[in-house]
Amino acid sequence: MKLSGQIEFKFKNMEAYLHVLSPQGVTREYVDGLNRERLFLETKPDTASLASQMEYVRGIEEDSARVICGLWCGGELIATAGGQRLNAAGAEVPTIGIFIFNETFRGQGWGKVLVWAMCHFLVNELGVASVQAAMKKENLSSKGSFLRVGFEVISQDALYHYLELKAKNLVQPDEVVS
């Protein structure tokens, strides 16, 4: 899905923005991050290349049910958030997934900022009323990123927690100035 909107803000005094990622926006850092990630990314290829990831992003651009956004900090693409129209059960509820490429950017609050910015974007650009997400139970930083901005746990099974945000409950993180 191609959308032209952008969410601009400062986080801990750093300039940041989120908007739709184009195939030309795919970077080596993104691809290297995918190839390093072993634990929690469920839909990633065994080995990504610049060309295969550009093709993946091009496919999303042409799909009216999916969107992928990039998060830029100081002009550098540091993370992506992917959204799709249907949840895991096939219901018409937008769901999102998040990924910060480099471990050095993790654990500083960027995860919750990424979730906030993506949800803000989906609410503003697509007018969504709720958003869902799922993560492995042991993925505490992912779960924390969603809980901190207003998501609530709605169900669980042996492996996963399932969370939902009502758009009116979206909370802007304290350190974000928009």
CB 48 within 8 A of CB 35: yes
Nearer to ligand COA, 37 or 61 (CB): 37
Q: Which two tokens stand for residue 66?
A: 């999916």
Per CB under 6 A, the list member of 21, 34, 112, 161 interacting with ligand COA is: 112
Establish if 135 lies at the interface with ligand COA (CB under 6 A).
yes
How many helices (H) and strands (E) would you count in the chain? 4, 9
Nearer to ligand COA, 100 or 123 (CB): 100
**Residue 118 near ligand COA by CB under 6 A:** no
Please answer whether residues 143 and 135 qualify as being in contact, where contact means their C-beta atoms are separated by less than 8 angstroms: yes
Residue 90 Ramachandran class (φ > 0 left, ψ -120 to 50 alpha, else beta) = left
The residue within the footprint of ligand COA, chosen from 26, 100, 119, 163 (CB under 6 A), is 100
Between CA 131 and CA 5 the distance in angstroms is 19
CA distances to 31, 35, 46, 47, 100 from 52, in Å? 9, 12, 11, 9, 19
Range 38-77, binding ligand COA (CB under 6 A) = 40-41
Q: Which is nearer to ligand COA, 19 or 173 (CB)?
A: 173
98: contact with ligand COA by CB under 6 A = yes
Q: Which residue is nearest to ligand COA (CB)?
A: 144
- Range 142-161, binding ligand COA (CB under 6 A): 142, 144-145, 148
Stretch that binds ligand COA, among 22-30, 57-65, 108-116, 119-127 (CB under 6 A): 108-116
**Interaction of residue 106 with ligand COA, rule CB under 6 A:** yes
